[in-house]
Structure formats: structure tokens, C-alpha cells
């Protein structure tokens, strides 16, 4: 073949394969068999290999994933990527409609769409060619993930018209791909993704595009960011236009004339959502006319012309098979429901905490009962209620044991507590749980020492108290299951590194009653060394702002024990640091930080900051970070997908910042 003929053939195959892919991935109407497609692709790739200069930039071979990157470039969005306000019920949808009518002076029509639960991306095309794709980031600056996005088969590399346009949409992982991915991960003993959204985000944040290419991601385009030389009057026309260019849109959208129709549409999806092949977390309602949209404009964070109707947490029915008991590090007995596996909000659930005996009584749970479960905050599985009307008579009563299932000593109920406790300090379950706590992230943070390894170390009697962790030998560790040379070396390095931790991590890790990580920090900052803390009296402790009577008492009682003295001496001898290394707390007078003395709530997902770090930094600057919004809150930091806290803060007219504003203030 002459060079000219090869070019003609490469062009022909590229166009043909792109057309086939469009029918398959965008329209969901395959034109040829997979085998035929694969053969044509191999032909094309063969020619491209011999004539690399003739390879087109919209070649389907681009989809396999290019070279790994060493970082993602930052991308400044020409038009910010905002988020949406929320409506949690019918009343709030009507409020949204009322506000829109007031703002416009007439009744608008609405475009309703599914709110796909993935991650927002923006795609830029120049003269019909895909040139850049980016994440939302903080709304102003995102990350350039073009090479990962190219691997998504439903993103056209070249449009049907040579337009210059920026479109926005939601990249997501279909439920089936998610289940397959997690099955494979489970087989390899790897950590599973919590839900399809995390899986999609995790895949698109990989520096190696070959990984994203294997993840079967998909996209729905839901709006135009900007476009040159095209007049469009309404949102539904915009969707038709992007479809005509070759983009994939979601076909469940509906143009509604009234808010009544909107409400019916939203309610209809409450049941139907489970049958969709992808996850949705609500419905997006947009004023349809673009002129109306312009008139309504934006608040600092979100358009006034759109809102998201959020679904209540999904509830499903399953059977309570058994109730298992576990003993925590403080001896508390926690019953856990063992359930027939069911899929809830994107993951398979087989266990749910029942918290304590009272809850079992209150709900009148019997083994074999049909129960409804949901995920609180869409994360933690919880039993909502029992379907008593479905009882057959074969259900069995559950009785809490009187003895600890691990050490057989008698369980007691301390005065004023709902929990049953094993009070045997030598109970193996408590010791094991204490060790797991000691190595956990907010405590000594020893990577590679999870629950599995600790359980092994404990059952091989290599470790019986926390000091033993610092005496572990390489040879001993090598004998453990699934511990190769490399993991052993990494583990020993992590253990060694933990010796340098600042005092608060050790204090929290020791598991003194009532001393959480925050109190541990306060104590460490105040006393600076474990020896000084050991000498502290109840009165001295109670003098500290955040330390109450109960905690002061627990600290003194803890350090009075001779075994504790021995343990601390042993840890010191083994080289574990027992002094505070962090910054001194800034006194009120010298602290001119914005956060000083303010009560702040963090909510939603942070993109750049880690929530714990953000909290620590605010606290170091004298701010108090609390969990719920009240009239006492001075400031709410709202990340992405902020929900009820944001709403409440708006109602209470509390100052609200986004993540970018927080970062700015922290940098000052």
C-alpha cells in the first residue's frame, strides 16, 4: 500500500470504528458484533503501529490509556463549577418554585433530570476536537484528567460538528462494573470501594490512565458551559444540541409545566431508582428558559434557577439471621445484627450494629425477623424497624448472655449505663481491641498493622500488650500468614517511625476512659510530658477548660495503677517518645486569627483538604470545631454535597464558606 492508501485506510477505519462505538456506547444500539469490532480495531492498530505519523488524534486506540503522569495539572475553570441547593421534601420544592416565580414575575417551566451520583467533569472541545477534561475541584480550579477521560468510550474524541464548546456532565461507574470491580478486589484481598461514586472518583484520580481504561466508566452530559456561535433558548434545547454533537445524555429527563408535575416526577423515582443500572442520589430541577435562568442568577455557591431534590436514605428489607456479640476495648458488649446480604445504597450489607441490649428490646427483635435497614448518612448500616406483621411464628427470642463470650467472666451493667460490660481487665477480646485502637490512625498510626495482623499477632502470642509491638522481630513476623519480606520491612519501619509520635497520639492510643483524640491533645499541650501528666491532680486537670470532672477522675485513676507505671517505663526504654512536639496553643491575647474563639462546623466533602487536618488547623488557631449547627455556631464550612447542616445554617443566617475560602484563610 502506498502512504496515501494507508492514510485513506486509517481514516476509513477510524471513522467506522468511531461510528460503531457511538452506536454501542452512546446510543446503546450496537451495529456490529464485539468480535467484528475487535478485529477492525486490531487492523487499525496494526497500521498505526507501522505508520505512527498517520494515526489520528481521535483514533479509538487512544482509549486504552496513554503514559502514566507524575501529577495532574491544575485547570482554572473559565466559568466556575457551582453546586446546587437542596430540597428534601415536597414543601421545599414548592418553596423553590415560589422563589423562582417571585424572581421572575411569571411561572417558569422546569426541566427535570436524574441526579447522577458520580463526579462532575467539564470537557472542552476546540473545532470539534476533545482538548481538555477536568474535575470540578473547588469549583474554581480543578485537575486536568484529560488522559483518564479519553478512556471513557462514551466521551467523543471528535464531535459531529467542528464546534468550539465546553460541556459539563457527571462521570460515573455503572452498578454492574462496580460489583465486578469489588468482586475482583475481594478476591485479591484488596480494600473494596465503598460505593460506585468513590470508585469512579478513585479511578479518575489515578495517574496511570490504563487503570481508568479498565474501569468501565461512563458519562452523562447535562449542560453546556460555553459555546461559540450558537443560539440556544432553553435547557431542553441545549440537551438536544449536545446529543446532536454525539454526546451521551440521560434519556430520563422531562420537561414539566408546573411544580405539581415536578413533584410527581420526583416521587416516581423514589421506587424506580433501584432498577436503574447506575446510582442516582436525587433529581435536578432546572428552570428551562435560559433567559429566565439569567434573570434569576446565582448566589455565592449555587444557581437560583436550579435545585436538587434529595432522596431520603434508601430502605430495604432483609432477614435477621443472628445476633453476634463483640467486646470492645473498654469491655462494652456490642450486639451486631447478622443479615441476609442485601444491596443498599450501592453496597452489599450483611452486618449492622445494634448498639446495645435496650435497642434490641425496644425494637422487639427476634432471630428470623424480617427487618428494614438503611444506611445512616448513606454510610453506616442500621436496622430501622421490624416487620412484625410478617412473622410466621418460627422466629426465636434473643437473650443476652450473662457471661462474656470471650473470657466467660460475668457481664455487668454499670450504674446509669445501658451497656453490658465485661470487667475482666485480662479479657483477651479487650486486650486485642485495645491493641487495634493503639495502632489506629488517630492514635499511633502504624500503617500495615490493621485488625487482621493484630489478631494474628495476638493469637500467636507475639503481642500481649502495646509495649510488645516494639519488641517484634523480623523472623517472627515472617512466620505470619500473608506477610512477605516487603510487608514485614514496611511494617517494622512503620513501627519504628511511630516511636517519634508526639505525646497526644500515645495518650489517645492508651485508651484512657473518656479521653478522645481531642482531649488527648489538650492534655499533651498542657502538660507536655507524660511524667508531668502523671503527677497532675484532679484539681489541676479540672482547671483546664475542656477537661471535666469525669475525665479528670479517669486520668488520675488510670495513672494510679502500678501496671500503667510499668508500661510507661517500658515504652520509654523501648524508645517511644513521651513528650509533646506540636505547637504551643496560642493564647487568646496573641491570637489574631479569624477562627480564634469561634465555633465552627465542617460539613460536606472536602476536595483538597483532609477533614481531620482542616479541623486540627482551625483548632490550632483557636477555633472550636463542633459537629452540629446551632445558634451558637459562628461559621459553617460547606464542602461538596453538603446537606442538612448547610440548610440549617442558611436558615439561622450563619456565615457560610466554601472550601476555597477556608484554604485562603488558613494560608494567611
**Residues classed as catalytic:** 115
Please give the C-alpha separations between residue 56 and each of 1, 40, 151, 247, in angstroms, as whole numbers: 18, 15, 16, 20
Q: Cβ of 230: how many Cβ atoms within 10 Å?
A: 13
82 binds ligand IVH (CB under 6 A): yes
Contact 551, 541 (CB under 8 A): yes
Nearest distance, CB of residue 113 and ligand IVH, angstroms: 4
Q: Quickly list H helices, 587-653.
A: 611-620, 644-651
Q: Which member of 30, 66, 225, 303 binds ligand IVH (CB under 6 A)?
A: 303
Strand order in the sheet with 315-327: 347-353, 333-344, 315-327, 370-376, 380-386
Q: Which member of 97, 113, 369, 433 binds ligand IVH (CB under 6 A)?
A: 113
| Complex with ligand IVH: residue 18 or 83, whichever CB lies closer | 83
How is residue 586 annotated by DSSP? P
| Stretch in the footprint of ligand IVH (CB under 6 A) among 267-275, 302-310, 482-490, 579-587 | 302-310
Q: How far apart are CA 123 and CA 607, in angstroms?
A: 19
Among residue numbers 194 through 253, which ones bind ligand IVH (CB under 6 A)?
222-223
| Stretch in the footprint of ligand IVH (CB under 6 A) among 7-15, 77-85, 266-274, 648-656 | 77-85
Q: How far apart are CA 59 and CA 604, in angstroms?
A: 39
CA 438-444-445 angle, to 5 degrees, is 105
Nearest distance, CB of residue 299 and ligand IVH, angstroms: 11
C-alpha of 222 from chain center: 23
| Complex with ligand IVH: residue 144 or 570, whichever CB lies closer | 144
Q: How far apart are CA 430 and CA 428, in angstroms?
A: 5
C-alpha of 629 from chain center: 21
Nearest distance, CB of residue 312 and ligand IVH, angstroms: 18
Q: Cβ of 668: how many Cβ atoms within 10 Å?
A: 8
Q: Which member of 75, 100, 120, 547 binds ligand IVH (CB under 6 A)?
A: 120
Q: Which member of 284, 466, 519, 606 binds ligand IVH (CB under 6 A)?
A: 284
Q: Which residue's Cβ has the minimum distance to ligand IVH?
A: 120
How is residue 26 annotated by DSSP? I
| Stretch in the footprint of ligand IVH (CB under 6 A) among 113-121, 446-454, 541-549, 556-564 | 113-121
Nearest distance, CB of residue 644 and ligand IVH, angstroms: 15
Nearest distance, CB of residue 69 and ligand IVH, angstroms: 23
Grid coordinates of 109 = 417551566
| Stretch in the footprint of ligand IVH (CB under 6 A) among 112-120, 309-317, 346-354, 520-528 | 112-120
Among residue numbers 159 through 198, which ones bind ligand IVH (CB under 6 A)?
170
279 binds ligand IVH (CB under 6 A): no
Grid coordinates of 211 = 487503570
Q: Cβ of 546: how many Cβ atoms within 10 Å?
A: 12
Nearest distance, CB of residue 628 and ligand IVH, angstroms: 22
83 binds ligand IVH (CB under 6 A): yes
The DSSP code sequence of 582-639 is SPPPPPTTT---TTTT-EEEEESB-SSS-HHHHHHHHHHTT-EEESS--TT--EEEE-
84 binds ligand IVH (CB under 6 A): yes
Kindly list the residues in this chain that would bind ligand IVH in the complex (CB under 6 A).
82-84, 113, 115-116, 120, 170, 222-223, 284, 302-303, 306, 308
Amino acid at each position: 500500500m502506498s502512504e496515501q492508501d494507508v492514510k485513506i485506510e486509517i481514516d476509513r477505519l477510524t471513522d467506522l470504528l468511531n461510528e460503531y462505538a457511538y452506536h454501542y456506547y452512546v446510543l446503546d444500539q450496537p451495529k456490529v458484533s464485539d468480535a467484528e469490532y475487535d478485529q477492525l480495531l486490531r487492523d487499525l492498530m496494526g497500521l498505526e503501529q507501522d505508520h505512527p505519523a498517520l494515526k489520528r488524534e481521535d483514533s479509538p486506540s487512544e482509549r486504552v490509556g496513554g503514559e502514566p503522569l507524575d501529577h495532574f495539572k491544575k485547570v482554572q475553570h473559565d466559568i466556575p463549577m457551582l453546586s446546587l441547593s437542596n430540597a428534601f421534601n415536597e414543601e421545599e420544592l414548592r418553596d423553590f418554585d415560589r422563589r423562582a416565580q417571585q424572581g421572575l414575575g411569571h411561572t417558569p417551566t422546569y426541566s427535570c433530570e436524574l441526579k447522577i451520583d458520580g463526579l462532575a467533569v467539564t470537557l472542552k472541545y476546540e473545532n470539534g476536537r476533545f482538548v481538555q477534561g477536568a474535575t470540578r475541584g473547588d469549583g474554581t480550579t480543578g485537575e486536568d484528567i484529560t488522559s483518564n477521560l479519553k478512556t471513557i468510550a462514551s466521551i467523543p474524541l471528535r464531535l459531529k460538528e467542528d464546534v468550539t464548546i465546553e460541556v459539563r456532565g457527571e462521570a460515573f461507574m455503572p452498578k454492574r462494573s462496580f460489583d465486578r470491580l469489588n468482586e475482583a478486589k475481594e478476591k485479591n484481598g484488596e480494600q473494596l470501594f465503598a460505593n460506585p461514586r468513590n470508585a469512579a472518583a478513585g479511578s479518575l484520580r489515578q495517574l496511570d490512565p490504563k487503570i481508568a481504561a479498565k474501569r468501565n466508566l461512563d458519562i452523562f452530559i447535562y449542560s453546556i458551559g460555553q459555546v461559540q456561535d450558537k443560539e440556544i433558548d432553553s435547557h431542553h434545547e441545549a440537551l438536544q444540541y449536545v446529543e446532536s454533537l454525539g454526546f451521551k445524555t440521560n434519556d430520563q429527563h422531562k420537561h414539566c409545566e408546573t411544580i405539581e408535575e415536578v413533584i410527581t416526577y420526583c416521587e416516581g423515582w423514589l421506587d424506580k431508582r433501584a432498577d436503574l443500572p447506575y446510582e442516582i442520589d436525587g433529581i435536578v430541577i432546572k428552570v428551562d428558559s435560559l433567559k429566565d435562568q439569567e434573570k434569576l442568577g446565582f448566589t455565592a455557591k449555587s444557581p437560583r434557577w436550579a435545585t436538587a431534590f434529595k432522596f431520603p436514605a434508601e430502605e430495604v428489607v432483609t432477614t435477621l439471621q443472628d445476633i453476634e456479640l463483640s467486646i470492645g476495648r473498654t469491655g462494652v458488649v456490642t450486639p451486631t445484627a447478622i443479615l441476609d446480604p442485601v444491596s443498599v445504597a450501592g453496597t452489599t450489607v450483611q452486618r449492622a450494629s445494634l448498639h446495645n441490649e435496650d435497642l434490641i428490646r425496644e425494637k422487639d427483635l427476634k432471630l428470623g425477623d424480617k427487618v428494614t435497614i438503611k444506611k445512616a448518612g448513606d454510610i453506616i448500616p442500621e436496622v430501622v424497624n421490624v416487620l412484625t406483621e410478617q412473622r410466621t411464628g418460627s422466629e426465636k427470642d434473643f437473650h443476652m448472655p450473662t457471661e462474656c463470650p470471650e473470657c466467660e467472666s460475668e457481664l455487668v451493667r454499670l450504674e446509669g449505663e445501658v451497656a453490658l460490660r465485661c470487667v475482666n481487665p485480662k479479657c483477651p477480646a479487650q486486650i486485642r481491641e485495645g491493641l487495634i485502637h493503639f495502632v489506629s490512625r488517630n492514635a499511633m498510626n502504624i500503617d500495615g498493622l490493621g485488625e487482621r495482623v493484630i489478631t494474628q499477632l495476638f493469637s500467636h502470642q507475639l503481642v500481649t500488650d502495646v509495649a510488645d509491638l516494639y519488641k517484634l522481630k523480623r523472623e517472627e513476623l515472617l512466620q505470619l500468614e500473608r506477610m512477605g519480606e516487603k510487608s514485614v520491612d514496611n511494617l517494622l519501619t512503620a513501627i519504628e517511625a511511630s516511636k517519634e509520635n508526639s505525646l497526644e497520639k500515645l495518650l489517645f492510643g492508651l485508651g484512657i476512659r473518656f479521653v478522645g483524640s481531642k482531649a488527648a491533645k489538650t492534655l499533651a499541650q498542657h502538660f507536655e510530658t507524660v511524667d508531668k501528666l502523671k503527677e497532675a491532680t484532679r484539681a489541676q486537670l479540672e482547671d483546664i477548660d475542656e477537661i471535666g470532672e469525669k475525665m479528670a477522675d479517669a486520668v488520675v485513676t488510670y495513672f494510679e495503677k502500678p501496671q500503667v507505671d510499668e508500661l510507661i517505663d517500658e515504652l520509654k526504654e523501648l524508645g517511644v517518645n513521651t513528650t509533646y512536639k506540636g505547637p504551643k496553643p496560642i493564647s487568646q491575647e496573641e491570637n489574631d486569627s479569624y477562627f480564634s474563639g469561634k465555633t465552627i462546623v465542617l460539613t460536606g466533602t472536602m476536595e483538597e483538604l483532609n477533614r481531620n487536618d482542616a479541623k486540627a488547623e482551625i483548632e490550632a488557631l483557636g477555633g472550636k470545631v463542633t459537629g452540629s449547627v446551632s445558634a451558637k455556631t459562628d461559621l459553617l464550612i460547606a464542602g461538596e454535597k453538603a446537606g442538612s447542616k448547610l440548610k440549617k445554617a442558611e436558615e439561622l443566617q450563619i456565615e457560610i464558606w466554601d472550601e476555597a475560602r477556608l484554604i485562603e484563610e488558613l494560608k494567611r
